[in-house]
Each structure stands twice: as structure tokens, then as C-alpha cells.
A = this chain, B = another copy of it.
């Protein structure tokens, strides 16, 4: 009997426990989510790997507290030589960075003209140009059949350092035409109004598939993810595309297990602009597009809007110090489409023992991804606690939430990284240096705030003359300010 009553008591405890638990849930989790109550950050690596025939997609767990707080998800695409990442689109705005390699990229923007044509003789006067072409064309590259000429939307060369903005719902493909793997990392803005679904990244495949399913989605019974055509009845596809049922069925990729990155056999015969080591000047290659079928000015805006910029181009660097490294920023002043997708990027490259002065993001969360080397990083939260103090190295990611202060010091020969920021014009505030917050404060505020002498305050305020980068291994004691060094 005693046992029964103790059991009863246990159950009551359980009741209280659950009631408390649920109530706590109700208060914290639901109505006042404390997603950003971050007392510890971690250098994150991918949690899921989706293998394909010619590459793999590595997905970070967007449920990790620091990504959840930042409202983003993150993925890395590794496309082998001759690999083709088949066209897909997302429910979110996306900002991508080419970390390694080179390739081709195409986006299909709705309503824009096919401005890339094989030759100017192409005359779309009905079906004539297809006359006499039968099934024997199968399996052959386009180059072999001179009589047919393809036309499609813009194709761009991409290379390491390119930063690519993509709006939601716009299909995009990549092809690795180099010898090394093409590595692209992408951030997906789940929290922005551009994403009109829930806070999950959802790829929609036009071709290809994902046999492992959307493993990053909780609450969905995992089943292989198929392409869009797979969801329609073949008869509907046949009617819509005016093709026979057999071809319609092929579009469903049902027997296909190659995943979403496939290997291209033979040449990849797409029309492409000449490679000049630089991107083509506006107006060179897409003049045709400016006289498309739209008379409403659409093609002047969306269709020809530049969406790519190279952050490793030495001529566009924002901070450059030969002994220390460089910093390049890409915001909506540089690339107006970023105003629309509300993201921006920063590229950094520093040498051993260089330090990025302590700073915080005033109006953005930042997602830092290491492309090369390693660094020692300290991050401080709103409570004044060090929530990260460690190494981050190539391939790792760490989130730096709005307002959290961070300092980075290279610990390898060269530390290179990219930061994606959840604001089209992310503002950085620095704790030290010529444009720092300390420099902007009156001496009296500093002396009273820190209970230090005016002389100490002057050193605190004026000794560091750099704005962003400095040597991390200077003498342990500095008594005099130095001459400005940029």
C-alpha cells in the first residue's frame, strides 16, 4: 500500500513535472521563444550528406540553436569535374559563394527572353528549322548537328570568389567545366518575407531527384524526393508539352538514381560568353535581351539585373594591407538585387597573426564560413560572456548573432572566409581602431565608465590607428599612439 501511494505520489510528481514543463514550454518556447539565449556557440559541420552521381550536397542542421537564432540554413555543393547540378529552385532567397573551382551557371527568370542563341541566322519562323530531324539525333551532342540551333537564357562563367544572389522560385543550374571540384556554399534566408512558407529550406527539383529524401525536414516521413514532373500524371505532362507519353514519363526521372548532380558525358555544348578572366561588360553579350518580347521594361530590370560579383577581385577590395590581408564587402550599393533579397556578404583573407579588430554587427546576423586555413575566434554575447573561444578551420561554419562581438586572429599561414549577413547593408561597429565606438566617445565618458585616468583613456581611444586589420602579436605593452597606417 505504501508503494501504491508512493506511486501515486510519483505520478503526481510526474503531473507537476509535466505541468511545469508544458507551462515552461508555453512561456518560453512558444510565446517568447528564447532562440537567441545563446550561452555557447560551436563551429558547425554538415549534418547530412546527399550523395549524387557526380558530387554531393552537404546540409547543415538548421535546427542548431545558432542557425535557428539567425533564421538561416546553409548548404555546401561539391560538384565534380563534368558534374551538372540540375536545375532546382528554393522557397527562399539565396546567396552563394564559389569557394573553389570554376564552372558555368544558368538561371531561368520567368518571362525573360532567351538571349543566348547559337548564331544570328537563327530565325524562329515556325517549325521549319526542325524539319528533317528525327530520332537519329539521339545521344549526340548539339555541336554535331549544325542545322539546329539552340536558344536559352543567359549562361555565366563562375569562378572562385564569385558571390551569386538568387531570388526565390528561380531555377538555377551549375556545371563544372574545370578539372578540380567546384565548391559552392549557400545561405538561405528562412526568416525573410521572401520566404512565404515555414522556416524550412525546401528545394524543388525540376530534373533529377534526391533518393535520400529531405532529411533536414522534421515531421515528414522520409521518402525519396522526386522532381516536379513526377507529381503530375504523364498524360498531363504530354498534353502540356505536346509530347508523347513515353517522353513525358522520362521527364519523371522515376528510374533515375543519379541524384541531383549528374555526370555529363562528352562535351557540354551550351552557348556561353567568351571567358576573359573577367565577367563580360554589360551590354556585350545580351544586347539581344534588351529587345525581347516585353515592352514593359521588365527586361531592363529583372532580366538583365546583375546578380553576381567577384569578392576576390583585387581591384574591388575595401580594405587592403599587403602585410595583413584584405576585406571586401558586397552590399546593395554594389549589387542592387541585394536590396531585394536582404542579404549581403563580406570576404576576408588575412595572413598569419593578423587580427580583425573586435567588432559587432549592428543590424544583421552573420554566418561565417571558412574557405581556407584556420583562425582563433572569440565571440561575446549580450551578457558579456565569452560564448565561443576556439579554432575554426576550413569547411566549418559559425554564426555571429546581431550585437555579439567577435575577434578573429589567423592561426595558419592564411585564413580566408566569407560572411553572409542578413541585411542588405549590414553595418559593422568596431570596438577598437580609428572608426571605432571608443573613438567616437568623449574622453570623459571613457574615464568615468572604466574608472581610468585621462591618460589611459587617451591611449584606449587613440592608440590604434587602423580601422579593421592589425597585427595580433604586437608588443604586450603600448604606451604611445603610432602614426596612421590606413
Contacts and interface: CB of A to CB of B under 8 A. Distances in A.
Contact of A449 (B208, B230, B446): B208
Contacts of A1: 3
A180 interface: no
Contact of A207 (B238, B240, B429, B450): B450
A68 B31 contact: yes
Given A225-B384, A230-B384, 12 more contacts: A11-B11, A31-B68, A34-B217, A34-B219, A36-B202, A86-B448, A108-B440, A152-B442, A173-B441, A240-B357, A251-B452, A269-B444
Contacts of A444: 141-142, 264, 268-270
User: Among A84, A195, A251, A333, which residue has the most Cβ atoms of chain B within 10 A?
Assistant: A251
Contact of A481 (B26, B126, B198, B430): B126
A433 to B, nearest CB: 8
B30 A29 contact: yes
Nearest to A62: B32
Contacts of A231: 378-381, 384-387, 405
Contacts of A220: 34, 37, 39, 383
Contact of A358 (B209, B235, B236, B481): B236
Interface stretch (A130-138, A319-327, A410-418): A130-138
Contacts of A389: 233
B169 A401 contact: no
Interface string A76-118: 0000000010110111000000000000001011111010100
Contact of A130 (B207, B476, B481): B481
User: 6 tightest CB-CB pairs across the interface, nearest first?
Assistant: A169-B362, A231-B380, A226-B384, A207-B449, A138-B453, A108-B440
A390 interface: no
